Structure 1
Amino acid sequence: MRLLAEGEEETEKAGFELGLKLKSSQGGATVCLFGDLGSGKTVFTKGLARAMGLDPRDVASVSYTIIAEYEETSPPFCHIDLYRLHGGEDLDALGIYEYMGAPWVTAVEWADRLPQVDLEDAVVVRISFVNQLTREIIIEGHD
């Protein structure tokens, strides 16, 4: 699916709509987000979180904490931001692979830094700049 989002509100809405689909599937999912700095990955993730029942204001860029988990949602939701990581050894030590797959719905920002992810099993979201306000969002791997 390809769509254009005019501003943060539409980017967040796209994440929300995907989140509703993932929530209803009840099987867990890993959402791998790709895009340049400032493209809207965290805004999209706020929409996913809202679909899981979280307040989007509680979801921020977790670049300093790396992993934020929300076990109180159904299904449980996890937000992983790999911006500061560069080596696969750090990922193993953090145990992030435990959050990938059922029952978790996991959003991974900067997923290009994951050396061991099979994108065939993931929902892939690519966000790119069209202009200062508009983003192109391409979602693959979920009907």
Structure 2
Amino acid sequence: MTDTPRTLRAGMVGMGMIFDETYRPCFERLHAEGLYDRRYGEVSVPLTAVASRTGKRADVYQKSSQGRIAPFANFSGEDAVAKLLESDVDFVCVATPDDRHFEACRQVLEAGKHLIVEKPSVLSLSQLDELAQLAKAKGVLAKVV
């Protein structure tokens, strides 16, 4: 175990129903309680950046969170994912509509970031093969939840 605090900075692509049902409660609990790993001790997992089409839901969430989560960068528009990837995130969760998963996941992996994507991960086996090869080439994890 180490005395150095560990931090894994999270990015989120998509702020819809899956965020509300799954990721929001997870990030709020991580903000309140942190995470503990026997090998490393306490690990902080803040949501540090969000990318979405309009940014409106992220704005509303931040304004109404009442301390349940720390402030995060909110990127919107056509280049939102690229801006998120330029920020200091260690891993990215993708929860967009299914037909947008592949492009967002490809960008995340090309940037050398670890990836968590909701199911179905992509819409074709060839897309899945491409992402698996890209993750291996970049030395990052790509997981489907």
* TM-score higher than 0.5: no
Greater relative CO (CA pairs within 8 A, separation 6+): 1
Task: Report which of the two structures shows the higher radius of gyration computed on alpha carbons.
Answer: 2
The structure in which a higher percent of residues are helix is 2
Q: TM-score scaled by structure 2?
A: 0.30
